[in-house]
Chains A and B, each alone.
Chain A
């Protein structure tokens, strides 16, 4: 059991990926009226698993490569959406739900980072704070 384990690193990767996903989801909302636009998204769990793999292999580029990988795995989401008359496939409800959900998950991750840091602080201050 180590004090400085991989937890914070994992939380950092998760926060990065959540922000990356937020950017994609935001652009889906912004393009809700663009003719022919197909919403984009990536599978967070899969991206997280992919991001952990290069970490284990101590890739020199580390994080930036995992971010690029996550972005590269982002796929146009064709499933479950009906194109409108202008061939736009953004479902406003779905887009907003995904946005809110991702934002909440980001908050949860930020809180996890807070708890971990509070734990370190508690240990560093001999349990007095």
Chain B
């Protein structure tokens, strides 16, 4: 366990939060997209985060070891989207209803802010660690 492993843990946190921001912005951008690659309305996406043991070779087992974080997948939100009556729309169904994406922009913005705060926390952890490393280097100077 050295300085670099803590740096990598923070880096994994930064990467996970960036992934969250990526997906939240994608959801926001597609808040009105009625046609995705599969022809269906866009479904909002969420990252699936998982705590992963760091440095398994040196682990002492159990709950004690430091854990990095990893995005193990992207989950599609399966809730039904809002239906709007708009018979002239090219994606309207037989009854004239268009299914909009299940994206709630307010939720996405809250998600963005939360991810940004978590990103800053990880960046601050890196700063603390850098200060510590500088102090260690300074021993004996």
Interface digits, A23-51 against B, CB 8 Å rule (1 contact, 0 not)? Answer: 11111011111110110101000000000
- Give the complex CA separation of A107 and B134 in angstroms: 9
Question: A interface vs B, CB < 8 Å?
Answer: 15, 18-20, 22-27, 29-35, 37-38, 40, 42, 67-68, 71-76, 92, 95-96, 99-100, 103, 106-107, 110-111, 113-114, 117
A-B contact count (CB 8 A): 130
- Give the complex CA separation of A99 and B124 in angstroms: 9
Binding site of A, secondary structure by majority: helix, strand, loop or mixed?
A: helix
Question: A19-B2, A26-B9 are contacts. A103–B69 as well, Cβ < 8 Å?
Answer: no
In B59-116, the 8 Å CB interface with A consists of 60-69, 114-115
Interface range, B side = 35 or more
Binding site of B, secondary structure by majority: helix, strand, loop or mixed?
A: helix
Question: A29-B121, A33-B17, A113-B139 are contacts. A103–B9 as well, Cβ < 8 Å?
Answer: no
Question: A19-B3, A27-B66, A33-B118 are contacts. A106–B125 as well, Cβ < 8 Å?
Answer: no
Q: Are A35 and B131 in contact (CB under 8 A)?
A: no
What are 9 of the A-B contact pairs (CB < 8 Å)?
Answer: A29-B122, A33-B49, A33-B118, A67-B1, A92-B117, A96-B125, A110-B139, A111-B135, A117-B139
Q: Are B13 and A100 in contact (CB under 8 A)?
A: no
Residues of A within 8 A of B33 (CB): none
- Distance of B67 from chain A, by nearest CB (Å): 5
- Give the complex CA separation of A65 and B127 in angstroms: 29
Could you list 8 further interchain pairs (A-B, Cβ under 8 angstroms) beyond the known A19-B6, A22-B132, A40-B67? A22-B128, A22-B129, A23-B5, A26-B125, A68-B60, A72-B62, A99-B124, A110-B139
